[in-house]
Structure 1
């Protein structure tokens, strides 16, 4: 029999936040065993009174549940509910909890198999219709934020180009003829655009990458945001600090939900956010 490989790469455990009523929390040892079978580690446990969720219409009234959501969003972990039907009592609670997590690029895992909530379709036609309505609102909101961010970005680029442009001594009478009005490069414009500075110098700027919705999963946002940051720093000549000021109005945040700054833009450009969690600054 061959000896076990001493250099075998250890399995990286997925961490979750456990949520349920007090009876569920009392089964923690059994649930840890179930989680281990799926290479999952329980990072935190939150529980509420049995029947509390079924007896209220607003999940915001359940302090432990709200705390679990806040913790999961902050440390970027999914929530696991081993017994969602028994502990939540109402179907709408299950749906709302999952949708809130999905809005932040996370998800709700349920049952002994840690089944993720659907990100498309639904458990029934009614469930699908309700989810589709929320997704439609989120997509519209994301599109509006992207347009607003692009407009703010255009103004920021204009200001940065104007500040960086060399200012030679020119005759005042010739100034109006040499002045050229700049315009930002908007998403969906296909051709390479030309941005003119106040001195009449022309700078070629490639098309602006189109950003996904701010609530999309980080795995989808990271490569596009990196291209976006490269576009700002390489094509437009902005500093990383200035690029951070352009990224923040788009509604996008770091994986930890923080505003962009020079250090995090640097990490994004270097691909550090595409590696293991915790390898990049907050």
Structure 2
């Protein structure tokens, strides 16, 4: 069954003054104000909702059982290009804080694929649309906690940054993932199983925390030689503190965790409201790259 989000649409208005993140459906996203250039075309070449629709269409064309999940919109308080802008002239028509008066520039959602799912794991396509551009990634999703796994650079694509492609090429890449869905799925589950077989003592995790902290310090350093050594760190300092605390709590219950357990404690932080939307996919990818190198994952 191919579906758009099944939950009931709740919000009548948005309130970004009191909330940093709002949730909405695709239909509601389409009602928000469309940001155009002087010729009346999408300012970034494509509207946010069109990205979601095109990925969903590719899922359907490849015969997959999918569902568009809830969509997150976030404010970022940037004076130059804020994540949310409210247009007073549109409010005067539709009412105060009306959905139609909002320009939303930071959007994140996932499309769930249930094909070849296990009791614990299905697959999700993550979509991040923001001021820098568009990022899309695919990987296993842990059902119980909705933790997105991105297990290889080949599972991500974007139309900005050092490895940017055109928007059209980006959708071609997504279609390739879906056309080869079974092969990608089998390989991803093999990596997850390998992680489950690797034991991590508390001391092992202390060493990992030290590595994550060193990467964060290097990336944020004013020393350019240091900062260039790290493209994107897995966790910022606040997240490292939360990760460390959650690991310590987990070790109170078990003397040894698997690498899969530790990985899930970290990926719990990669959600809107806990990580800035432009960083959700890059940090997630940086984490698996770090673990792959540290633990010699295949």
Which TM bucket (shorter chain)?
under 0.3
TM-score, normalized by length of structure 2? 0.25
Higher Cα Rg: structure 1 or 2? 1
In the superposition, the TM-score normalised over structure 1's length comes to 0.26
Higher relative contact order (CA 8 A, sep 6+): 2
- More strand per residue: 2
